[in-house]
């Protein structure tokens, strides 16, 4: 049913982060400051080798205060938790608050693909989504970022000048029509700021 709604202030239910070559350092910068009280769910898609057996989840789990899980099909999405796309699967968000996986064709030679996760997350969370595209050497994620923007979410990119591989964030800036990118430190401050949003205001 379509219920007319009062315009609400932007609150963030989910943060999606994508990156490829050169993204693991800025990813840590983004996530290290956060605590389990973080008010949104975090979905992370990093390009990796198909045989990577959950290494990234293990490494992140050791350094972060947030709990980190590698996504399983139909796993519930939880606030204050990092959900990683597993190697060789696309990660999608569903409207019933669960995650889904797929082995559909690669996108930009990648599975997991950032576009796939960003696009599905945009459909689920709309304005209540924040998307961040980090360093990388191809253009995966750019179309996804534009879709986040189109559905009213907040689209952000790492400043290509701060990225080891500027192609990906530069493509994101162009596709989403952003004025520019931000340093990993500035992006991290934005996330920290979300922790001060009142969860009971939702």
Binding site for other proteins (CB under 8 A): 2, 4-5, 71-76, 86, 89, 92-96, 98, 100-105, 116, 119-120, 123-124, 126-127, 150-152
Nearest approach in angstroms of CB 50 to other proteins is: 10
Nearest approach in angstroms of CB 170 to other proteins is: 25
> In whole angstroms, what separates CA 130 from the centre of its chain?
7
Nearest approach in angstroms of CB 12 to other proteins is: 16
Nearest approach in angstroms of CB 130 to other proteins is: 17
Smaller CB distance to other proteins: residue 96 or 185?
96
Q: Check if 83 is active-site.
A: no
CB atoms within 10 A of CB 37: 11
Q: Of the listed 13, 90, 135, 140, which one is catalytic? A: 140
Q: Of the listed 13, 20, 83, 90, which one is catalytic? A: 20
Query: For residue 38, with 0-12 CB atoms within 10 Å meaning exposed, 13-18 middle and 19 or more buried, which class applies?
Result: buried
Q: Are 78 and 41 in contact (CB under 8 A)?
A: yes
The CA distance from 86 to 101, in Å, is: 9
Q: Of the listed 13, 24, 47, 110, which one is catalytic? A: 47
Beta strand residue intervals within the chain, DSSP E: 14-19, 41-46, 68-70, 82-84, 90-93, 99-102, 129-133, 154-157
The CA distance from 115 to 109, in Å, is: 12
Q: Check if 102 is active-site.
A: no
Q: Check if 47 is active-site.
A: yes
CA-based Rg of the chain, rounded to a whole angstrom? 15
Backbone dihedral angles phi then psi of residue 60, each to the nearest 5 degrees: -65, -40
Q: Are 11 and 197 in contact (CB under 8 A)?
A: yes
Of all helices (H) and strands (E), which one includes residue 149? Answer: helix 142-150
Nearest approach in angstroms of CB 70 to other proteins is: 8
Smaller CB distance to other proteins: residue 43 or 191?
43
Write out the catalytic residue numbers: 20, 47, 140
């Amino acid at each position: 049913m379509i219920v007319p709604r009062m315009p609400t202030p932007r609150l963030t239910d989910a943060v999606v982060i994508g990156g490829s070559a050169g993204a693991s350092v800025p990813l840590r910068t983004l996530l290290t400051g956060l605590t389990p009280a973080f008010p949104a769910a975090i979905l992370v898609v990093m390009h990796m080798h198909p045989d990577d057996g959950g290494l990234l989840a293990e490494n992140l789990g050791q350094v972060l205060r947030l709990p980190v899980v590698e996504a399983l099909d139909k796993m519930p999405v939880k606030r204050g938790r990092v959900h990683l796309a597993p190697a060789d699967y696309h990660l999608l968000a569903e409207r019933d608050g669960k995650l889904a996986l797929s082995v559909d064709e690669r996108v930009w030679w990648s599975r997991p693909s950032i576009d796939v996760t960003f696009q599905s997350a945009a459909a689920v969370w709309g304005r209540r989504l924040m998307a961040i595209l980090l360093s990388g050497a191809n253009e995966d994620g750019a179309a996804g970022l534009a879709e986040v923007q189109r559905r009213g979410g907040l689209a952000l990119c790492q400043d290509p000048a701060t990225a080891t591989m500027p192609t990906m964030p530069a493509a994101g800036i162009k596709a989403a029509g952003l004025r520019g990118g931000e340093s990993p430190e500035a992006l991290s401050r934005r996330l920290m700021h979300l922790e001060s949003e009142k969860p009971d205001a939702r």
